[in-house]
Structure 1
Amino acid sequence: MEKQGGATCSADCNGGVLNKPNPSPSKFPLTFWEMAAASGVVLSFVLGLVGVYLTMPESDYSFLKLPRSLEDLQILRDHLESYTSDYTIQVLIGYCTVYIFMQTFMIPGTVFMSLLAGALFGVFKGVALVVLNATAGASSCYFLSKLIGRPLLSSLWPDKLVFFQEQVAKRRTRLLNYMLFLRVTPTLPNTFINVASPIVDVPYHIFFLATFIGLIPAAYVTVRAGIALGELRSVGDLYDFHSIATLFLIGVVSVTPTLISKNNS
């Protein structure tokens, strides 16, 4: 029973949707154990990166930093090219650890990591590497959000979260098609989808399949551009009209079965 002055439902109260509690600005949204779990995940990534660093040859690694521009990325590419052939395992482990870490904690810049995969490993190996790492990072984010995501999302994006939950509830019978559509097209940010999916009860097997399959087209576009990294002037050059139109066409095809089933019912 709903109490006046207490928590209020943000949508249909009988559908198990999210409740918006009265604001308490002084209260941190995570408990001690939730913070401890998140810190443990961060520590495991840090230890992995330290292990990779210790096994690399002695050299000046001042160039090793997360790229924030195409210039940073070109400098990183120029230095790593000389290591990739002789220290392939270390470079791969370091690349995968950084990529998955960035995806898990929603750190911007994975587009530069995808470009780097194309520059270092070529199209086919690069696409496979990006898709596998993006799926692993999204899965890591999914399970971490399942543990600590609800209070954070409810305080940061309550309206967007309610909207996403309503859309998922409407398309429950064809949820894979809808999730594929979201992955292929820029309708919702991928980072938001990763964090919100467990909160709105998207099953993991559907989340995994939609992520693994749906990220392939965009990964191909980005990795292919990484081969001609020196010709790029800005990140905006990655997605021209032809590329965006192709991605939307793939998204429309993926969501068509859902639209047909709704019209027939």
Structure 2
Amino acid sequence: MRGKASWCFSYCSNILVMAAPRSIIIDIGKQRHEENAKEDSPTSKKPTGAKLDGRSLLSHWELAVAVSVFLLFCIGLFCVYSTMPAAEYGKIKLPRSISDLRVLKDNLATYAKDYRGQFILGYCSTYIFMQTFMIPGTIFMSLLAGALFGVIKGLVLVVVNATAGASCCYCLSKLIGKPLVNWLWPEKLRFFQAEIAKRREKLLNYMLFLRITPTLPNTFINLASPMVDIPFNVFFLATLIGLIPASYITVRAGLALGDLKSIKDLYDFKTLTVLFLIGSVSILPTILKRKRTYE
């Protein structure tokens, strides 16, 4: 039991180490670098103790909510892992490369077969946690679903978990995400807001297009949707349906992990073209309506 508790703590720590999404870290680093460069300029005026127009990024209340929700998820994750049957814990860790994923798949194949229910619960909890807090690595989880459960079951598992995690991220962003989104992606947010304003009548079609195609990052869509007044029902439905094509490609690739060299191989020019063609079908009614209006 002591070994299990130790592993649970180790595994949760492994997830937390990855909890800062790379894209956000890069964006924050760039903005801080630009801010420091402006401050170091001899012509710039240096405000005394000012942070983001005189205030910190998050208020005390917002910070308390963020920490509380994060800790609540961590406790739930720890409880799920602590109830799972014994295994060779040292070999189970979140993959960070295709080679790590192959090793993990080999170690989990028998375990997932013998304890299917417990394993799926642990898998779902991990996936939703990572998606909610924008932790990189969900694409490896999708590949793992295909490798362990096949295309149909793996696709259902991935789409349901990705939608649940994105919905949690939407709700969390609605509470505390506005200053973060405004700080990280101000120009992208203004563009998104303008596009949404032009497509209010066919909002579901446009959201489906964004989900199917890689036009905007899913992380940005999850966080920014509440900021531009996208209703939750539209967000949920577009996410549930729109993630199917890309998830199918990823899950299907999980069946042939031995042939996959890197993540970049998943989305080559041909695959991206197919996704854009599928996405174009979703906005076809909007295009036709505009054409009839102009005529």
Give the structure-1-normalised TM-score.
0.88
Distance 1:57 1:180 in 2: 40
The answer for the alignment partner of 1:24 in structure 2 is: 51
The answer for the alignment partner of 1:233 in structure 2 is: 261
Superposition deviation, residue 38 in structure 1: 1.7
Give the structure-2-normalised TM-score.
0.79
Q: Deviations over 1:16-43 (max 9, x none)?
A: xxxxxx9834732212222222222222
Name the stretch that deviates more: 86-95 or 150-159: 86-95
The answer for the alignment partner of 1:14 in structure 2 is: none
- Taking the TM superposition and a 5 Å limit, the aligned residue runs for 1:151-162 are 151-162=179-190
Distance 1:138 1:164 in 2: 18
Q: Deviations over 1:55-94 (max 9, x none)?
A: 2333431233221100111111111112111211221111
Superposition deviation, residue 172 in structure 1: 0.4
The answer for the alignment partner of 1:4 in structure 2 is: none
Q: 1:168 to 1:56 in 2, by over 3 A?
A: same
Write the letter of the residue equivalent to 1:178. Answer: Y
Name the stretch that deviates more: 46-55 or 78-87: 46-55
The answer for the alignment partner of 1:80 in structure 2 is: 108
Greater percentage in helix: 2
Write the letter of the residue equivalent to 1:80. Answer: L
Name the stretch that deviates more: 87-96 or 197-206: 87-96
Distance 1:60 1:28 in 2: 45
Distance 1:84 1:146 in 2: 36
Determine which of 273, 288, 293 is the counterpart of 1:245. 273
Pairing 1:49–2:77 present: yes
For structure 2, the 5+ residue unaligned runs are 1-46
Distance 2:72 2:102 in 1: 29
The answer for the alignment partner of 1:40 in structure 2 is: 68
Determine which of 160, 164, 175 is the counterpart of 1:136. 164
The answer for the alignment partner of 1:12 in structure 2 is: none
Percent identity reads: 62
Q: Deviations over 1:148-177 (max 9, x none)?
A: 010001111111001000000000000111
Distance 2:200 2:86 in 1: 54
Distance 2:96 2:200 in 1: 39
SS of structure 2 residue aligned to 1:199: helix
Runs of 4+ in 1 over 6 A off after TM superposition: none
The answer for the alignment partner of 2:132 in structure 1 is: 104
Pairing 1:175–2:230 present: no
Superposition deviation, residue 46 in structure 1: 1.4
